[in-house]
A and B are shown apart, each in its own frame.
Chain A
Amino acid sequence: MEKMKQLFKKNNKNQALSFLLVIVMYVAIEALLKTGNLKSLYTSMLVPVCCYCIVALALNLVVGVSGELSLGHAGFMSIGAFTGVIVSGYLSNFIGSQMVCFAIAVVCGAIMAAIFGFVISIPVLKLEGDYLAIVTLAFGQIIKTLVNNIYLGYDQAGFHFSFVKNTIELQSGGKMFISGPVGATGTTITSNFTAGVIMILITLIIIYNFMNSRQGRAVMAARDDKIAAQSVGLDIVKTKTMVFVLSAALAGAAGVLYGLNFSTLVPSKFDFNTSILVLVYVVLGGLGNMFGTLISTIVLVMLPQLLRALNDYRMLIYAVLLIVIMIATNNKTIRDMITGVFNRKKAEGEGE
């Protein structure tokens, strides 16, 4: 019982820290923006950082909480982003308010990604371990290839759609939403930093509520010991499907945020490398640790920008840092050495 209490305390602390971090960051950045102290380089990074935070949180739900590796989350972002572009482009003909358009686009993107997430989870969750990871990788590739071949336009006569070959001829005043490998062009930018932060907060609320719910505990039990969880009657496939769909929906919503932040968007943006990038944020932040994920995402997205002074060497240094951090945190000898140094300092400090 004591242990349970401690666990809850730890969870609550993590939760409070996450919300605090987001709000403090938001206030600080808004203050900087208002006083004009933020370089335009960083201003342009604000929405992408929010977007990556949401995807990383969503992926941590799959990797950290349910313990399954997904290598295809960029696929869900892609679905969300292009759904969002279409919905917001279409609605802007009828609805004046950009905010309302954006909100509807986010919901539609999330639903669309959730549908795909559900379809994918049917085969995916039958498999185990590395094979499951590979199927998600395959789905990511399939989604990328399919989106690369979609042509969709809209004019007075309604929607026009073609696949692989562009056969669309629009009437005057019509607009192409997606044109194959070129992607979406001329999108009206409706994302902004405030919307991004609100979305992060909603994501955090959803995820923490889920983790503390009956289903969330069931998933974590299944992650820690599958056979034990099954033997007490937990329906593992059902709960894991829930996690996967929820995560897909959140990634889709993040995709909308991303897609509506740029006037042009190519489908190849959401490739295997993007999935991997987000996975790196999750693993470095700590599996199942949402606060850690937020910190690592913010730091790692900004790091290449901060290393800009080093020019060509920045990605090289990024890579070396990644390897060194992984080895330093996971190798027992080195970790003991580091904690040893800290403990000695602490002991000396206490001695004084």
Chain B
Amino acid sequence: MSFLSYLITGLSLGSVYAIIALGYTMVYGIAKMLNFAHGDVIMVGAYVSFLAIGKYDTPALVACLLSVFACTILGVLIERLAYKPLRSAPSLAVLITAIGVSYFLQNSAQLLWGTDTKVFPAMLGTNQLVLFNGELMISYVTIATIVACIIIMTVLTLFINKTKIGKAMRACSEDKGAAQLMGINVDNTISITFAIGSGLAAIASVLLCTAYPALNPTLGSMPGIKAFTAAVFGGIGSIPGAFIGGLMLGILETFSIVYISSQLSDAIVFGVLIIVLLLRPTGLLGKKIRVKV
């Protein structure tokens, strides 16, 4: 029974990674950039919902919505101010700018909210679902996380495949020039992608902080790197890939903590990533791009 309980914990952690990874992968797919500031958007989202609940005593759902709203605006602002001027610049320049944005967000948070670790309030209570005569206990937070991830995944897949904006996004990620010739507003499409990615980051932040309730200005970096790994794991640019990659990474991390060693779990996770990339150089579901002369 303990195996099942670890598996569920892993799935829940993986769901959070998957939601963050979706943001990475969508932005990469369309703007071909590694957005290292994504992890810090998560941090901002966490602080917004923390302040909403702690200071203004709003209900959990309202706090969550506020956080999504704030992060969406933040994401679009970052894109417009920092990344848009570099649309045709070499990718390394954009990467460094993203790092600059990440420093900026971390240090602003430090100035605004201090460096001390704050405790995130329990949003869904600490109730647990008891199954099999108490042999299996699952907290409602865990269930909510997994359900949220599945809903997001379904809605996002439908959005990308069925709506006009989704079609525009796919077109932009294939070929920006051709998309523009077809009358697609590339700038707006990219902004929408950033908005969705950042909104997802906000949801992830609430889920993450409910599960691990310690708040500080660098809380986003490690989940950010892990989710980025998850996106690569599944094949960066691929939405189902991010989902599968996230879940696998979460399960892998939980299992290596429980069965091998909590200190070595990071080494194991990244080691598996390297092996996966050696066997499938573009991730599990990544597209292979042939270079022609």
Contacts and interface: CB of A to CB of B under 8 A. Distances in A.
Contact of B291 (A227, A283, A312): A227
A86 interface: no
13 contacts: A131-B232, A134-B232, A137-B225, A137-B229, A149-B264, A276-B36, A279-B96, A319-B107, A322-B97, A322-B100, A326-B96, A327-B82, A332-B88
A132 B103 CA distance: 24
Contacts of A145: 263-264, 266-267, 270
Interface in B82-102: 82, 85-86, 88-90, 92-93, 95-97, 99-101
A128 B225 contact: no
A77 interface: no
A127 B275 CA distance: 12
Nearest to A134: B232
Nearest to B261: A164
A280 B281 contact: no
B271 interface: yes
Interface size class of B (residues with CB under 8 A): 35 or more
A280 to B, nearest CB: 6
Nearest to A127: B281
A326 B277 contact: no
B263 A148 contact: yes
A335 to B, nearest CB: 10
A6 interface: no
A126 B229 CA distance: 18
A316 interface: yes
A131 B97 contact: no
Nearest to B286: A131
A142 interface: yes
Given A138-B229, A331-B85, A63 B92 contact: yes
Given A142-B271, A272-B221, A327-B97, 16 more contacts: A123-B277, A130-B28, A137-B225, A138-B273, A149-B263, A164-B261, A227-B293, A279-B99, A280-B96, A284-B96, A316-B107, A323-B100, A326-B86, A326-B93, A331-B85, A331-B89
Nearest to B270: A138
Interface of A: 63, 69, 123, 126-128, 130-131, 133-135, 137-139, 141-142, 144-146, 148-149, 164, 226-227, 272-273, 276, 279-280, 283-284, 287, 312-313, 315-316, 318-320, 322-323, 326-327, 329-334
Contacts of A279: 95-96, 99
Given A135-B277, A142-B271, A319-B107, A283 B225 contact: no
B82 A130 contact: no
Contact of B266 (A141, A283, A322, A330): A141
A139 B274 contact: yes
A130 B34 contact: yes
Interface string B102-113: 011001101100
A141 B267 contact: yes
Contacts of B263: 145, 148-149, 164
A223 to B, nearest CB: 13
Contacts of A322: 96-97, 99-100, 103
A142 B266 CA distance: 7
A323 B97 contact: yes
Given A227-B293, A315-B107, A141 B90 contact: no
Interface in B193-252: 221, 225, 228-229, 232, 236
Given A123-B274, A138-B274, A280-B99, A128 B92 contact: no
B189 interface: no
A113 B267 CA distance: 18
B139 interface: no
Contacts of B181: none
B274 A323 contact: no
B4 interface: no
Given A283-B93, A319-B100, A141 B270 contact: yes
Contacts of B281: 126-128, 131
Contacts of A287: 92
Nearest to A227: B293
> Which residue of A227, A318, A327 has the most chain B CB atoms within 10 A of its CB atom?
A327
B47 to A, nearest CB: 16
Contacts of B104: 316, 319-320, 323
A131 B277 contact: yes
A325 to B, nearest CB: 9
Nearest to B267: A145
A330 B293 contact: no
A320 B104 CA distance: 7
A283 B103 contact: no
B278 interface: yes
B249 to A, nearest CB: 12
Which 5 pairs show the lowest CB-CB distances between chains A and B? A322-B100, A319-B103, A330-B89, A319-B104, A138-B270
> Which residue of B103, B228, B264 has the most chain A CB atoms within 10 A of its CB atom?
B103
Contacts of B108: 316
Contacts of A227: 291, 293
Contacts of A318: 103
Contacts of B278: 123, 126
